[in-house]
Amino acid sequence: MSEQLIIFDTTLRDGEQSPGASMTKDEKLRIARQLERLKVDVIEAGFAASSNGDFEAVKAIADVIKDSTICSLARANDRDISLAADALAGAARARIHTFIATSALHMEKKLRMTPEQVLEQAKQAVRYARTRVADVEFSPEDGYRSDMDFLCRVVEAVIAEGATTINIPDTVGYAVPELYGQFIKTLRERVPNSDKAIWSVHCHNDLGMAVANSLAGVKIGGARQVECTINGLGERAGNCSLEEIVMAVKTRRDYFGLTVGVDTTQIVPASRMVSQTTGFVVQPNKAVVGANAFAHASGIHQDGVLKARDTYEIMRAEDVGWSANKIVLGKLSGRNAFKQRLQDLGIQMDSESEINAAFSKFKELADRKAEIFDEDILALASDESVTAEKEQYGLVSLSQRSETGERPQAAVVFTVDGKEVKGESDGNGPVDASLKAIESHVKSGAEMVLYSVNAISGSTESQGEVTVRLQHGGRVVNGVGADPDIVVASAKAYLSALNKLHSKADRVAAQG
Ligand code: KIV
Ligand code: ZN
């Protein structure tokens, strides 16, 4: 019997820390449901003490998700741990993940604490966490850049206090595979009670090596938990990518000799959902989930794959959830077929009214677009006018005029707290004119730091999916909108970003 590698997903905590990726409670719950369908072992649902919103999101997820362990991050102090335990009270299986920095740099410059004080605080935190839950994970933040002797003392002490998982973060993405693997191995060999805990790896991708480092931590170091995120989402260059770790361990089982409990057919739906919710577009050549990951352009490759698939393919597209871009529904499809397709795609709508709203959006779309693909349905499910949340701004209608040699003009009607208003403007192009028309009314003063358009299903007949990133007063938010008309998609994305800008409370960052 081979051992199982524990997949700890932190999309909703470390992934969400990426500027602009913050999610609402409902968005987090929807992603948590998809992670449960994906059968990840542990879902790190958030950092309960960081804000009321995060507390409520962790609580909602803990109350609903029953198949995965639900975890909350907590700094190594009683208040954070107590709030984490309160938020997790409804969980079938709860884990508290407490952390404190152990590198000389972080202790001296950030915490302004001596190593002895850090050691004491780590012990106390784990001791208290164990009085609240049986499953306690401890992370020495910036662990990989910490002094080995000191780290061994800290880890031995927290295991003695009852930590059940020891996670060694490469917080700043400084590690290289062989050295990181050796680091974990040395720790496990030197800490006398190391066999009393499961060892975990947590790697950031600053040098593009998060997946390689994590795999080395598993293979060389003997770690049996990997912390990762869907699409590698995360601060700066991101975290270790879940889909790459899972498919590497599965595809090269001959080498790693481990099993994973993940249902890989749910990988692509999870990737689409995270990308559409956060507005972080997946690059086409991204391993496993990129649009080109299974596309063969060269004639030689196509010919080979047609004759024998394994000439050029090491994984099957359908095994990771690519449904070959099928035409799934059209204008004549009924509500039941639509509902069934939502279910097949793993989209759970909480109420009949949400399904009705989605179905009427689907009908509107089918009137304008003959072929509706899975990707269209996924985009529709993330549409803010479909989701139950009451948003401040919503698009009603848009008209624009553009002609060669003329300056484009746009008029946008939208709601502000349920009341209709109209903005008008000209602009460099129809998108610019439309967003300026909205801004002429809202006067947010936000700076646009990113605008991108992506064809959801490839051709010019497809819906355009637009991401708008706004920055204002130190906050960064992403808005996403989809429509066959990219000017309309842009207006939806802009309004969605404004909704986020105006509704989110400030949060405490985990690595502050
Ligand atoms: O990267 C890191 O150090 C973290 C810890 C909070 C576990 O995310
Ligand atoms: Zn991290």
- Reported pTM: 0.88
Res 72 pLDDT > 60: yes
pLDDT for residue 384: 64
Cα–Cα dist 218/224, whole Å: 6
User: Which residue owns the Cα nearest ligand 1 atom 1?
Assistant: 171
Determine if ligand 1 sits within 6 Å of the CB of residue 76. Answer: no
Residue partners of 185: CB distance under 8 A and separation at least 6:
220, 221, 222
Q: Which of 24, 45, 16 is nearest to 234 (CA)?
A: 16
Share of the chain above pLDDT 90, in %: 71
Please give the average per-residue pLDDT across 320-325, as a whole number. Answer: 73
Cα–Cα dist 412/399, whole Å: 6
Res 121 pLDDT > 60: yes
Query: Tokens 């009670």 label which residue?
Result: 193
Alpha-carbon dihedral 433, 434, 435, 438, rounded to 10 degrees: 120
Confidence at 2, pLDDT banded by 50, 70, 90: confident
pLDDT for residue 512: 47
Res 397 pLDDT > 80: yes
Q: How far is CA 79 from CA 125, 167, 468, 492, in A?
A: 10, 22, 37, 40
User: Which ligand has the shortest distance to the CA of 509?
Assistant: 1
Q: Which of 510, 429, 506, 509 is nearest to 472 (CA)?
A: 506
Atom number of ligand 1 nearest to Cα 10 = 8
User: Which residue owns the Cα nearest ligand 1 atom 7?
Assistant: 139
Res 456 pLDDT > 90: no
Residue type, 90: G
Atom number of ligand 1 nearest to Cα 204 = 1
Cα of 450 to ligand 1 centre, how many Å? 27
In sequence order, the β-bridge partners of residue 258 are: 3
Residue type, 216: A
Q: Are 38 and 263 in contact (CB under 8 A)?
A: yes
Residue partners of 65: CB distance under 8 A and separation at least 6:
32, 33, 35, 36, 43, 91, 92
Cα–Cα dist 179/261, whole Å: 28
Cα–Cα dist 100/124, whole Å: 11
Cα of 205 to ligand 2 centre, how many Å? 10
Confidence at 361, pLDDT banded by 50, 70, 90: confident
Determine if ligand 1 sits within 6 Å of the CB of residue 27. Answer: no
Determine if ligand 1 sits within 6 Å of the CB of residue 144. Answer: no
Confidence at 457, pLDDT banded by 50, 70, 90: confident
Please give the average per-residue pLDDT across 481-498, as a whole number. Answer: 94
Res 313 pLDDT > 90: no
Cα of 236 to ligand 2 centre, how many Å? 10
- The region of weakest confidence among 23-37, 60-74, 356-370, 380-394 is 380-394
Q: Which of 504, 347, 398, 463 is nearest to 29 (CA)?
A: 347
Res 90 pLDDT > 70: yes
Confidence at 237, pLDDT banded by 50, 70, 90: very high
Q: pLDDT, tens digit, for every residue of 174-223? A: 999 999 999 999 999 999 999 999 999 999 999 999 999 999 999 999 99
Please give the average per-residue pLDDT across 387-392, as a whole number. Answer: 68
Res 388 pLDDT > 60: no
Neighbours of 110 (CB within 10 A): 14
Cα–Cα dist 103/113, whole Å: 11
User: Which residue owns the Cα nearest ligand 1 atom 2?
Assistant: 171
Confidence at 389, pLDDT banded by 50, 70, 90: low
Protein residues near ligand 2, an ion, with CB under 5 A: 14
Which 3-state string (H, E, C) describes 189-232?
HHCCCHHHCEEEEEEECCCCCHHHHHHHHHHCCCCCEEEEEHHH
Cα of 173 to ligand 2 centre, how many Å? 9
- The region of weakest confidence among 10-14, 273-277, 452-456 is 452-456
Please give the average per-residue pLDDT across 100-120, as a whole number. Answer: 98
Atom number of ligand 1 nearest to Cα 239 = 1
Confidence at 377, pLDDT banded by 50, 70, 90: confident
Q: Where are the domains of the chain?
A: 3-278, 294-323, 326-382, 393-502
Cα–Cα dist 115/213, whole Å: 27
Candidates 3.40.1190.10, 1.20.120.1750, 3.90.1150.10, 3.30.160.270; correct CATH number of 393-502? 3.30.160.270
Cα–Cα dist 328/373, whole Å: 6
Confidence at 336, pLDDT banded by 50, 70, 90: confident
Q: Are 411 and 436 in contact (CB under 8 A)?
A: no
Confidence at 504, pLDDT banded by 50, 70, 90: low
Q: What are phi and psi of 222, to 5 degrees?
A: 85, 15
Please give the average per-residue pLDDT across 482-488, as a whole number. Answer: 94
User: Which residue owns the Cα nearest ligand 1 atom 5?
Assistant: 141
Atom number of ligand 1 nearest to Cα 139 = 7
Q: pLDDT, tens digit, for every residue of 283-308? A: 889 999 998 888 766 667 767 777 77
Cα of 241 to ligand 2 centre, how many Å? 12
pLDDT for residue 300: 72
What topology does CATH give the domain 3-278? Answer: TIM Barrel (3.20.20)
Cα–Cα dist 25/429, whole Å: 36
